């Protein structure tokens, strides 16, 4: 297997990952609350740019990804499943240093979002 080297590989893992998300019993309904069926192409494009910025330091992505997650009713189990599916997708399609970095970055993002959402949620209640 090849490593992640460019936007072409990003598109592969983003597409495969979000196919899994949409079919997942736990995560699919959560995503469906925020992303209508006709909005998936725009979401995927945004995720391509996000990961291109994260992995290759391209200034493709602008926005506040955390803000999009505020108000979602997600718990630790949702983040664990998200990380599991993400890492599984990378492992199924790529191997190498950048693939490992991608998995680590995804896990870090999930941990930070989970912690921040816990704080935001406690302030709301």
Beta-carbon-side half-sphere exposure of residue 2 (alpha carbons within 13 Å): 8
pLDDT computed for residue 121 by the predictor: 53
Q: Is residue 64 part of a domain?
A: yes
Q: Is residue 24 part of a domain?
A: yes
| CA distances for 2 relative to 6, 13, 52, 98, angstroms | 11, 12, 17, 10
Q: Is residue 86 part of a domain?
A: yes
**Calpha distance 89→84 (Å, rounded):** 9
**Calpha distance 25→110 (Å, rounded):** 19
Residue 103's CATH number: 1.10.490.10
Q: Is residue 106 part of a domain?
A: yes
pLDDT computed for residue 62 by the predictor: 85
Range of the domain at 53: 7-124
Q: Is residue 1 part of a domain?
A: no
The domain total for the chain is 1
**Calpha distance 16→10 (Å, rounded):** 10
**Average pLDDT by consecutive 10-residue portion of the chain (125 residues)?**
97 98 97 95 97 95 78 87 98 98 97 85 46
Q: Is residue 119 part of a domain?
A: yes
Task: Name the 3-class secondary structure at 117.
Answer: helix
């Amino acid at each position: 297997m090849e490593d992640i080297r460019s936007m072409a590989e990003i598109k592969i893992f983003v597409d495969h990952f979000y196919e899994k998300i949409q079919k997942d019993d736990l995560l699919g309904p959560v995503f469906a609350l925020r992303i209508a069926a006709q909005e998936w192409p725009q979401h995927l494009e945004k995720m391509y740019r996000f990961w291109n910025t994260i992995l290759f330091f391209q200034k493709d992505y602008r926005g506040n990804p955390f803000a999009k997650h505020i108000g979602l009713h997600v718990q630790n189990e949702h983040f664990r499943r998200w990380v599991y599916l993400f890492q599984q997708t990378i492992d199924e399609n790529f191997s190498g240093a950048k693939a490992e970095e991608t998995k680590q970055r995804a896990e870090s993002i999930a941990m930070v979002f989970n912690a921040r959402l816990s704080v935001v949620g406690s302030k709301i209640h």
